[in-house]
């Protein structure tokens, strides 16, 4: 799409002019303004701009939906035209915290940590799905593709290795992102993550074998304390909490040590003390918390599957509206690591199609060509898993289509649970979701999708 300068200038004018803009940043789909006076916004005129798919105010920011990909170009041009200050993470955090309660802050924390690593996880999930297509029998014939065509066995092996790496080494990604979010050194976070999955440690997946006695445990004996040499591959919470401890120590040492010796002492002291505490108590405690959370989710979907499926389907899009959906990234990573499946992820792949259906219907009902164009663009994005343009640009304002969309998602959630359709990884939503859904569920999954 060609971007015209007059459309950029129109957006700036409709939010009150460049004098009204304190800070400016963007996310995957939206321009995010921190404005001096939101009463100066001309929202009606803003929605008529051909670049704008919707707009709303939340957490001290006025967010203008542009769409994935295009928002980067619009943002760069808007910065040039306004000379506005580009907001950094600390400034945005301060603005958001002023309008958030403690629960919202906690959920925002999960969002800040896991959102940056989401592309890696989703990409790995897609590769894992391709690996399953190549190596599982019964999809394209009685034998798998690698058996029918041995020449692709090496390619399949490499794809599997790359896909599994992201999930096995997830503590490295989490500790890097968490250290950065808490204001510490990201590279110390990387080092901490590597420590938690060191090859000298017994893989965490063998804990049950240790408890049963089939694998002999190994310990460090430190001042009379026997500390189990266990790794935290595929784990999320131990790396998250350990990274917070690491940053607290790093900041304390930088505050109390002379500048001349910080380079020598800060890193080794903070990383060793954090590692010691993690293997001693943080890791086991957080693994237990993760087990409780996983067991609670599994219990709900096993004991009251219809209710759980309906509620999760209905609530997912409202969670996206509030931004709380990012907290479920960690839950699903932990769930897939523990059980190799997730019903929540399979429901999520359907909700975006329900949103797309509502928006495409609205495109038929709209009289204005501009509104039709917005609806078609938003519906296409929703089919690919990006639902913010459809909600904020079309369905929420019209209300009834939004209600239809979330109720359809709830009904699809019921069917997902009746058919027991699960996903094996995070990955693409909508029609491309077959890559993360086992082949035996494809007909039922597409039936749910069509109904939604």
Residue owning tokens 């959102």 = 115
CB 309 within 8 A of CB 343: yes
Question: How far is residue 331's CA from residue 413's CA, in Å, rounded to a whole number?
Answer: 18
In eight-state DSSP terms, residue 279 is I
Question: How far is residue 89's CA from residue 76's CA, in Å, rounded to a whole number?
Answer: 18
Interacting residues of 396 by C-beta distance below 8 A, sequence separation 6+: 54, 321, 402
Question: How far is residue 292's CA from residue 202's CA, in Å, rounded to a whole number?
Answer: 22
The string over 118-131, giving b where at least 16 C-beta atoms fall within 10 Å of a residue's C-beta and e elsewhere, is bebbbbbbbbbbbb
Question: How far is residue 147's CA from residue 49's CA, in Å, rounded to a whole number?
Answer: 55
Residue owning tokens 């910080």 = 262
Question: How far is residue 29's CA from residue 363's CA, in Å, rounded to a whole number?
Answer: 20
The secondary element (H helix, E strand) that includes residue 24 is strand 21-26
Question: How far is residue 296's CA from residue 75's CA, in Å, rounded to a whole number?
Answer: 42
Question: How far is residue 365's CA from residue 372's CA, in Å, rounded to a whole number?
Answer: 8
Question: How far is residue 29's CA from residue 386's CA, in Å, rounded to a whole number?
Answer: 8
For the purposes of burial, counting CB atoms within 10 Å of the CB of 228, is it exposed (0-12), middle (13-18) or buried (19 or more)?
A: middle
Question: Which residue is catalytic, options 27, 55, 281, 352?
Answer: 27
3-state secondary structure 349-372: HHHHHHHHHHHHHHHHHCCCHHHH
Mark whether 352 is an active-site residue: no
Known catalytic residues are 27
């Amino acid at each position: 799409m060609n971007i015209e300068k007059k459309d950029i200038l129109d957006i700036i004018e409709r939010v009150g002019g460049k004098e009204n803009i304190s800070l400016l940043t963007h996310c995957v789909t939206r321009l995010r303004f921190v404005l001096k006076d939101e009463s100066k916004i001309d929202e009606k005129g803003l929605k008529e701009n051909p670049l704008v798919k919707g707009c709303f105010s939340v957490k001290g920011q006025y967010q203008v939906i542009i769409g994935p990909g295009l928002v980067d170009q619009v943002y760069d041009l808007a910065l040039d035209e306004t000379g506005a200050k580009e907001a950094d993470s600390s400034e945005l955090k301060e603005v958001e915290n002023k309008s958030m309660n403690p629960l919202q802050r906690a959920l925002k924390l999960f969002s800040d940590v896991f959102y940056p690593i989401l592309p890696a996880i989703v990409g790995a999930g897609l590769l894992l799905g391709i690996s399953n297509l190549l190596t599982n029998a019964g999809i394209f014939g009685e034998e798998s593709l690698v058996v029918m065509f041995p020449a692709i066995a090496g390619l399949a092996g490499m794809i599997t290795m790359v896909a599994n790496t992201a999930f096995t080494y997830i503590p490295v990604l989490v500790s890097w992102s968490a250290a950065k979010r808490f204001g510490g050194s990201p590279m110390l976070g990387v080092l901490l993550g590597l420590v938690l999955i060191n090859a000298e440690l017994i893989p965490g997946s063998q804990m049950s074998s240790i408890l049963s006695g089939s694998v002999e445990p190994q310990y460090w004996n430190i001042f009379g304390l026997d500390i189990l040499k266990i790794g935290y591959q595929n784990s999320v919470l131990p790396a998250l909490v350990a990274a917070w401890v690491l940053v607290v120590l790093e900041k304390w040492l930088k505050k109390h040590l002379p500048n001349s010796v910080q380079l020598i002492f800060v890193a080794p002291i903070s990383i060793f003390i954090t590692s010691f505490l993690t293997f001693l108590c943080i890791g086991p405690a957080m693994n237990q918390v993760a087990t409780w959370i996983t067991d609670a989710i599994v219990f709900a979907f096993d004991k009251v599957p219809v209710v759980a499926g309906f509620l999760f389907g209905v609530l997912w899009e409202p969670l996206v509206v509030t931004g709380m959906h990012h907290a479920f990234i960690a839950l699903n990573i932990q769930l897939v690591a523990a059980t190799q499946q997730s019903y929540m992820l399979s429901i999520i792949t359907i909700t975006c199609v329900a949103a797309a259906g509502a928006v495409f219907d609205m495109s038929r009902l709209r009289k204005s060509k501009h509104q039709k164009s917005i609806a078609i663009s938003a519906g296409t994005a929703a089919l690919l898993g990006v639902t913010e343009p459809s909600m904020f640009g079309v369905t929420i304002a019209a209300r009834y289509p939004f209600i239809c969309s979330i109720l359809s998602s709830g009904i699809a959630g019921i069917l997902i649970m009746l058919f027991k359709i699960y996903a094996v990884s995070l990955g693409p939503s909508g029609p491309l979701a077959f890559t993360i859904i086992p082949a035996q569920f494809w007909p039922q999954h597409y039936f749910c999708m069509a109904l939604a």
